[in-house]
């Protein structure tokens, strides 16, 4: 339900008990008391004023905040009880810390900051920093003996798997579903290469290294970098662009396969509409 417009002249306009927010395109519904639970925070300043006039709204009347809509759920969760609870191997810790700084939540910023031991080495939280914040060759430049014990054997194996140039070996599979029309005399329609979405399967760290910002992670946002996924997809639909990125990263295609199924036939023209699924497997030594 859209909030009424605040353009009432004169006296103050109180905020409703239930408030709708649009944060970077993500809609949140929460209580007024939650948004004002941390004094001097940005949200406290926004909703403690005597009037809603001047606050940005979207086309449906919801209060609009131009920040990361996905990470805001952790900001809102913290404001409910002032406790930080994150998924295991949370990969966006550094970005969430920047969001906490923007919303002026100093205690949350402190909780998100990497812990430094007396030996000036990262503690347990060191393994949860953003993989994007480090350079591609950071793991190879690190001596295995200097790894913190809190990082566990998984981190040691990851560092050991790094090549001298900082690039790790592994497989990446890209797949797509397409459709084409097979008409009379076996003439194929020009829409054979119509691609709706290019899927990416493989290790998280490799996929991020190769495709960077063109990788859409919205369907599997919380998976740690050393795990595997089959739910990522690319923000573009040109296979050649994906091939170029893989080639630039040193990958070579080692296998491919494709299947086709006749979906239906046109009653008047006898043209058959086929759907296909194709996968390309790339490997880097």
Burial label for 270, CB within 10 Å (0-12, 13-18, 19+), is exposed
* 176: nearest Cα among 283, 281, 282, 279: 279
* 94: nearest Cα among 127, 54, 143: 127
pLDDT surpasses 80 at 165: no
Strand bridging mode 26-31 / 63-65: unpaired
Averaged pLDDT, 58-76: 92
CATH of domain 18-112: 3.30.710.10
* 192: nearest Cα among 251, 239, 152, 226: 239
What does the domain layout of the chain look like in residue ranges? Answer: 18-112, 170-184+192-284
**Strand residue runs (E) in the chain:** 18-23, 26-31, 63-65, 170-182, 194-203, 215-216, 228-234, 252-265, 272-284
Give the confidence band of 252 by pLDDT, cuts at 50, 70, 90: very high
Q: Which two tokens stand for residue 97?
A: 């810390």
> Which of 6-15, 127-136, 207-216 has maximum average pLDDT?
207-216
More confident residue, 212 or 183: 212
Give the confidence band of 74 by pLDDT, cuts at 50, 70, 90: very high
Structure confidence by residue, pLDDT tens digits, 166-203: 678 999 999 988 776 666 555 555 445 567 789 999 99
pTM to 2 decimals? 0.42
């Amino acid at each position: 339900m859209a909030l009424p417009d605040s353009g009432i002249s004169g006296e103050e306009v109180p905020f409703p008990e239930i408030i709708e927010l649009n944060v970077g395109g993500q809609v949140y519904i929460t209580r007024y008391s939650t948004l004002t639970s941390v004094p001097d925070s940005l949200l406290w300043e926004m909703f403690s004023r005597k009037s809603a006039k001047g606050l940005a709204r979207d086309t449906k009347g919801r209060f609009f905040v131009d920040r990361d809509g996905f990470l805001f759920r952790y900001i809102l969760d913290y404001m409910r009880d002032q406790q930080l609870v994150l998924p295991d191997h949370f990969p966006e810790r550094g970005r969430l810390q920047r969001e906490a700084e923007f919303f002026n939540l100093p205690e949350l910023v402190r909780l998100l900051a990497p812990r430094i031991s007396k030996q000036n080495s990262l503690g347990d939280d060191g393994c949860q920093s953003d993989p994007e914040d480090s350079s591609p060759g950071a793991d190879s430049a690190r001596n295995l003996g200097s790894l913190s014990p809190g990082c566990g054997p998984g981190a040691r194996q990851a560092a050991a798997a790094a090549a001298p140039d900082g690039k790790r070996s592994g497989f990446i599979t890209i797949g797509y579903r397409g459709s084409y029309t097979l008409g009379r005399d076996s003439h194929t329609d020009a829409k054979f290469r119509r691609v709706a979405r290019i899927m990416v399967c493989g290790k998280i760290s490799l996929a991020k290294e190769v495709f960077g910002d063109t990788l859409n992670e919205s369907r599997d946002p919380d998976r740690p970098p050393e795990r595997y996924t089959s739910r990522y997809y690319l923000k573009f639909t040109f296979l050649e662009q994906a091939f170029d990125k893989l080639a630039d990263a040193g990958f070579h295609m080692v296998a491919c396969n494709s299947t086709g199924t006749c979906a239906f036939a046109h009653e008047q023209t006898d043209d058959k509409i086929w759907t296909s699924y194709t996968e390309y497997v790339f490997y880097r030594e």
